[in-house]
A = this chain, B = another copy of it.
Amino acid sequence: MEVKMDEAALRDFLRRDFTQVADDFDFVEIAPPFVTMALTASDKHLRPGGTVSGPSMFALADVCAYFCILSVLGPVALAVTTNCAIDFMRKPAPGRLLCRMELLKLGRALAVCEGRLFAEAEPDRPVARASLTYSIPPGQSERPRTA
């Protein structure tokens, strides 16, 4: 799958579209249809006990799906998340929290991603899984409409 935006281009979009949280996230690997990002957890992302909060994990999955789509679709104005289903399975070990997201479908109207979150030290022990749907504004996707 062709990379339409490289890491530098995606980073620019991150700074532009996610102003308030751009410093929280990092790109780890851009290999469409996969994109891996990391959350640099600070105090605001933690619950008592030092566990990364559910909303912070949701935020990581959401931003990672967004850039997973953008890496393939190119630098277009993208619509919002329309749906997310997330399962929280374990408490993450301390350290960087990663999300590896896969683009499963890029239709004319909808894009569907699926991914897993895991502590960098334990890649084979997912702490959460998430699937997300983004709606794509009319005319932005060159692909034949499948949904």
Enumerate chain A interface residues (CB-CB to B < 8 A).
Answer: 16-21, 43-44, 46-48, 53-56, 58-59, 62, 79-91, 104-105, 107, 109-110, 112, 114, 116, 126, 129, 131, 133, 135, 138, 145-147
Q: Is the interface of A mostly helix, strand, loop or mixed?
A: mixed
Q: Are A84 and B82 in contact (CB under 8 A)?
A: no
Chain B positions within 8 Å of A105 at CB level: 89-90, 126
The quantity of this chain's copies bound in the complex is: 4
**In the complex, what distance in Å separates the CA atom of A87 from the CA atom of B129?**
14
* A85 and B126 contact, CB distance less than 8 A: no
Q: Which of B58, B104, B109 contacts A129 (CB 8 A)?
A: B104
Q: Which chain B residues border A147 with CB–CB below 8 Å?
A: 79-80, 82, 89-90, 135
